[in-house]
Structure 1
Amino acid sequence: MIDELDEQYGVNNCCRAFGVNRSSFYAWLQRQGKVNPAREKLKALLVKHHRASRASAGARTLAKQLQENGHRVGRYLARSLMREAGIASRQRRRHKYKSPSVEALVAPHVLKRKFDVTAMNQVWCGDVTYIKVGKRWLYFAAVLDLYARRIVGWSLSMISDATLTCDALRMAVELRGWPKDVLFHSDQGCQYTSHKFRN
């Protein structure tokens, strides 16, 4: 029977070409279509751990997690199970915060962590963060009234520069009716310590 298959499909030549033993090929052939309940259970656990990691875990991590649960799994078996389950590790690209090279003028720390403000428009705080939108990063600047704990101005941009923070402050000033003697507190990032923002 084996000789007939060899003649019909050229199995011998294929095995020789790929450096695979014929016995290994026929053992693999016999396994096709047969369900291994223990392997399927292990695969289901691996998929569960993979989902819990938000698809970021790779073969090494998944093997370690399964080992901690008492399963004898190496990273090569974990990789094979991942391939069978059709899953792969998807690492989120780390965001590289690009700061423009502008001059930094350090302002005195007037607030000194006294966050108990007694009136509106007494202390505003500003900060910049980034948000992933699709495949791109957007920078978000906000101005918060410390008394109301409410955002009173904001701005979005593709570039994290002084214009971003100035636009957020301008919105706050206009919405609050150009208040006087407001203390503005920030982390003194380059966007806030730039000449443009301070002016």
Structure 2
Amino acid sequence: LLQERQLIYDFMYKHKKTYSVGKICKYLKVSRNSYYHWKSVKLAKKKDSRRTVLVNEIKRIFKNSRQTYGSPRIQAELEKLGYKISRAYVARLIKAENIRFKPKKRFVNTTYSKHDYKIEKNTLDRQFKVEQLGKVWVSDITYIRVNDKWIYLTTMIDLADRQVVGWSLSKDMTYENTVLKAWNTARKRRQIIH
């Protein structure tokens, strides 16, 4: 009997534009109230399933952004996936699911210039045009974020041909693991010592 009612209600729902609900109810001997109750339950389930899908997509996008995306960027990503949804609704879902984004940390200058240490003379003095190989090598350290940690890439470049002659990757910024390792690699590759 329950399956029969479901089939009747499905039929009525599919053909509601062709036939009036009142006429179908009268002909099939079902109550209008029971049909409208079934319809409201069906639509609520449909809405809940769409909401569940959206929440799962929002959580996936949020996780992939390393918990940095807010509602505007999540809404833009959802639109790329084909969802027509307002930013305000995305914000409500984020709030309801208690999703909290982590703001990006501001850049912190790690150079401390107010010290009493001896400062070496600037012998290069911005003269970056060098003809002879191995005469001038310059170096720099780059911070690279890998998951939740930092690694440090130290490179050494020969200014004559702009080739990277030495490098090192390290988990810390000690002299031995950054500059010294890059210097040793450069010496082995170029075998030029001045």
| TM-score between both structures, scaled by the size of structure 1 | 0.48
- Higher-RCO chain (CA-CA 8 Å, sequence separation at least 6): 1
| TM-score between both structures, scaled by the size of structure 2 | 0.49
